[in-house]
Chains A and B, each alone.
Chain A
């Protein structure tokens, strides 16, 4: 793996998943993983498998819900969709993330 790619930062995956579901509507695990890879271009190394514990975590907190359904290629797949608390969570998580990013930017800016 090249040095130019970065690992998924702890805690950011959840927000990526939520945002993906917000943008795309109900989606199965593979779809979510592919979408994250596409949006990030080639800058992220994502082990697709890590998406599943993350999905379970979000489901346990009641931010997403899961249902078995049929995919476009006519396969059984588990579809995840946002719940109402999940939508609200995106707002606060986004705010939170922007604050961190801004703070980091201040640290990283040339100080003199």
Chain B
């Protein structure tokens, strides 16, 4: 038995190998057969036959060279594979015979699969891909709720003391960690920063100050060294850093002895105590939930100890400035943790007699990070899926038409005795070929789209985790094949079901009009129309919302304004490291003021500079530095105190930014002696002084009196979507650590940017300059997510419209061409052509109207779902609906023009003869 099986295996092996050396083996056989015949002839001649007779006898005895060769080949090869190869070639030829059909199907699949794959890769990377933490579902973000600050945001970052209380007393969590965003100016210690070369200046890097438990809460262990100790949280003992893998590569080229080396961070040599594993990534956690974190790169490279200084410990109420994460005990639900922590916080407030009403909110980490992006991404995925669905409908439509057109041929083949299974296999192979071609095209398309998509989506959190993996691409091809077979084989099966004689009796044209085929196609077109109506309405809404965002009045002028942000973070500028609470250190204040004054002066002398100013906060980077405004002459009721964003600006700021001043004056150089003046934005002025003009009135900040010298228009300098309440303060009052220099100039950006950088570096080469960009660019980046949505949706909308046109055209053209003969008869019998046109139009209008109605219903549901994504645009915008319907009707009309023209051109004689 063993011998037998081994014989079989050897045989299979030999046969398989033989597939690859057909020609060689054929030649071998031919030579062997020639040798056989030669021997036979020779023997016959020896027996006395004539040469010719000998030859004839030899051939007779041999019994057919051709048959032998065929039998030999069958024995040599794999018969199943051979017929499969034959069927495959046949399928290929069939497809090549109708290049229009094949091209349309492959292109449709390519675009459909490509778009779905590309968008899904983003959904997967941003929303579905698990975080590289141990058991990530147990990691939560802790926030505090403060009733008195509800207007600012329902959820706030945490206060350190409140956090410490929770961490100490809570039983539902294993542990908690506190951290804070920070930026570091980093230079490799060996480098001497004196050249004007850019690499000689420190590099601005994003990082976090983290408490010692940060990595253990995440369940991440350094691959080199250790995490921070409790001692390192003490002020002055925090000269340590932990690097991510990329930072280790960048600054130390992966040197394994890095633990003995230092990195110059903010001008101070800092010991490296640990290196994190390559898979570790920590996403941006925004200060306020659902705040857009555009421009953030998710690339924290450096971790420093979170220092518990006096400023942190003094604030029992207020100072909600820190982010906290915790790991739940296994089996503990969000609700349990929430209720315990909330109770602890409330008890703490009572024990310590806090003036405000606090509480805790627990949120899963994954939702916290991507919360506001969930809906837009799923919406895009739904949209692209609708496009794929429409593509499939078109495929089914094409396949029905093709199946019907071919039913004559199929019937003929089966009547002549073709094996049904073989016919089915042929169909299967055709669709397999189409599916594979479309799938491979889709993969290429997705790869090509990926780069563009990622550039457009650069503002999404975790976007650097988006990539097209091999399994995803394999699945794409598989989906394509399944789609193609599912939507191809069922229509084709119909033609196999028809009894052969009926197919033979009819001509192919009449089969096409069998009622169920026509009905199936009408339903398909209706589905398609419904999909595109929904998609068009959603697209119109999102696009209108985006257009509104771009064209609304912003009250600032972004043209020709260049910005350069400097980080004054070396020791000569810092009061004490990372201690922003102490404003009293005059030496470092003077150092910062001096740099800023000199820079402003030199920037003014740049060629073409029309206005020069500075601000302490990069425009369009969201709300920050939020303060309560109080009045000496009025006590706001609790919870009613107006909140404003504090912005330090220089004289000339309003002119440079193009923000109109409604009342009063700009800051002037003369304000330096007594910087207790403010300019309020109109909104801030109206909230603080609802009764009369705020000009000349006095406000209290931290107990100090400030006079309102001007009122500015509500400029959307924090976020294009909101009018913020802003209190502008002269920068001398508290010189900013990150001054942003503004230069309005007609000079080209390419020249102006480096010039501004050089001015600053000529004053101090150790200053890092992380951002040099135009305000225009910043505006554009701040709406990147909205643009991404609008662009992608417009693309899908256009695709949907195109597919609908194709679908409608296909159905009409086909039915017209199939009914040519009928029309010929009608004309011959006296029907006029406009009657025929009406006939065709009526035929087309049923699925169109049906589809529109379904589409309107579907979009009513869809627009309700996306309402929160719309900016100052109503979800039932009649304009959007009207535009979408008009567009679709025009498209339908265009689609029916050519078929209708054909109707009017029918020549009755020709139509009747063509039978």
Q: Which residues of A contact B (CB under 8 A)?
A: 28-31, 33-34, 47-50, 52-53, 56-57, 59-63, 71, 73, 75-78, 85, 88-89
| 27 A-B pairs (CB sep. < 8 Å) | A28-B36, A30-B35, A30-B39, A47-B63, A48-B40, A48-B61, A48-B62, A49-B63, A49-B64, A49-B65, A50-B68, A52-B68, A52-B71, A53-B71, A53-B74, A56-B72, A57-B75, A60-B10, A60-B11, A60-B14, A60-B15, A62-B7, A75-B39, A76-B31, A76-B35, A77-B35, A78-B32
Contact, CB under 8 Å: A50 / B14: no
Interface residues of B in 4-45 (CB under 8 A from A): 6-8, 10-11, 14-15, 28-29, 31-33, 35-36, 38-40, 42-43
Report yes or no: A48 in contact with B36, Cβ–Cβ below 8 A: yes
* A59 contact set on B, CB distance < 8 A: 14
> Which B residues are CB-close (under 8 A) to A28?
35-36, 39
**A47-B64, A56-B75, A56-B76 known; A61-B11 Cβ under 8 A:** yes
Cβ of B704 under 8 Å from chain A: no
- B36 touching A53, Cβ below 8 Å: no
Contacts of B98 in A (CB 8 A): none
Establish whether residues B29 and A52, one from each chain, have CB atoms under 8 Å apart when the complex forms: yes
A30-B40, A49-B65, A56-B72 are contacts. A88–B3 as well, Cβ < 8 Å?
A: yes
By a CB distance below 8 angstroms, the chain A residues around B71 are: 49-50, 52-53
Instruction: Please name all residues of chain B whose beta carbon is closer than 8 Å to the beta carbon of A34 when the two chains form the complex.
Output: 43
B190 in the interface, Cβ–Cβ < 8 Å?
no
* B605 contacts A by Cβ under 8 Å: no
B67 interface residue per 8 A CB criterion: yes
Restricting to B56-85, which residues have a CB under 8 Å from any CB of A?
61-65, 67-68, 71-72, 74-76
> A59 vs B76: C-alpha distance in the bound complex, in angstroms?
10
Q: How far is the CA of A85 from the CA of B9 in the complex (A)?
A: 14
13 new A-B pairs (CB below 8 Å) besides A53-B71, A53-B75?
A: A29-B32, A29-B35, A30-B35, A30-B39, A47-B64, A48-B36, A48-B40, A49-B65, A52-B32, A61-B10, A62-B10, A77-B35, A78-B28
Q: In this complex, what residue of A is CB-closest to B3? A: A85
Q: What is the interface residue range for chain B against chain A?
A: 20 to 34
Contact A49 B68 (CB under 8 A): yes
Which one of B39, B40, B63 contacts A50 once the chains associate, using CB atoms below 8 Å?
Answer: B63
**Interface residues of B, Cβ cutoff 8 Å to A:** 3, 6-8, 10-11, 14-15, 28-29, 31-33, 35-36, 38-40, 42-43, 61-65, 67-68, 71-72, 74-76
Residue of B nearest to A78 (CB): B32
Bound CA span A109–B201, Å:
110
Least CB separation from B46: chain A residue: A73
| Given known contacts A48-B61, A49-B64, A57-B75, A77 and B14 CB-to-CB distance under 8 angstroms | no
> B interface, by DSSP: helix, strand, loop or mixed?
helix
Which label, helix, strand, loop or mixed, suits the secondary structure of the A interface?
helix
Which A residues lie within 8 Å of B61 (CB)?
47-48
Query: A26–B120 Cα gap in the complex (Å)?
Result: 67
Min CB distance A32 to B, Å, is 10
Cα separation A24 to B8 with both chains bound (whole Å): 27
Give the CA-CA distance A62 to B14 in the complex, in Å.
10
CB distance from A23 to the nearest CB of B (A): 19
Q: Is the CB of B63 within 8 A of A63?
A: no
Q: Is the CB of A75 within 8 A of B63?
A: no
Alpha-carbon separation in the docked complex, A60 to B10 (Å): 6
Bound-state CA distance A76–B67 (Å) is 23
B7 near A85 with CB under 8 A, answer: yes
Please name the residue on chain B nearest to A92 by beta carbon: B3
State in angstroms the CA–CA spacing of A77 and B68 once bound together: 17
Complex-state Cα separation, A29 to B29, whole angstroms: 11
Instruction: Give the shortest distance, in Å, between B837 (CB) and chain A (any CB).
Output: 68
Q: How far is the CB of B891 from chain A (nearest CB, A)?
A: 63
Residues of B contacting A85 with CB < 8 Å?
Answer: 3, 7
In the complex formed, the residue of A with least CB distance to B12 is A60
Asked whether B68 lies within 8 Å of A73 as measured between CB atoms, the reply is no
The reply to whether B63 and A48 form a contact with Cβ atoms under 8 Å apart is: yes
Task: Given A61-B7, A89-B3, check contact A53 B72 (CB 8 Å).
Answer: yes
CB <8 Å contact, B36 and A73: no
Taking a contact as CB atoms under 8 Å apart, the answer to whether A75 and B35 are in contact is: yes
Instruction: Give the docked Cα–Cα distance between A77 and B28 (Å).
Output: 11
- The minimal Cβ–Cβ distance linking B259 to chain A, given in whole angstroms, is 64
Give the most central of B36, B62, B64: most A CB within 10 Å: B36
Nearest CB on A from B9, distance (A): 10
Nearest A residue to B10, CB-CB: A62
A50 to B62, CA, bound (A): 8
Please indicate the chain B residues that have their CB under 8 angstroms from the CB of A31 in the complex: 39
Bound together, the chains give a CA A28 to CA B33 distance in angstroms of 11
Knowing A48-B62, A53-B68, A57-B75, the reply to whether A75 touches B38 (Cβ < 8 A) is yes
- Give the Cβ gap from B863 to chain A, nearest Cβ, in Å: 69
Sorted from nearest, which 7 A-B pairs have the closest CB atoms? A47-B63, A49-B68, A61-B7, A60-B11, A30-B39, A53-B75, A60-B14
Q: Which residues of B contact A73 (CB under 8 A)?
A: 39, 42
Instruction: Say whether A47 contacts B7, CB under 8 Å.
Output: no
Shortest CB distance B582–A (Å): 91
Chain A residues contacting B32 (CB-CB under 8 Å) are 29, 52, 77-78
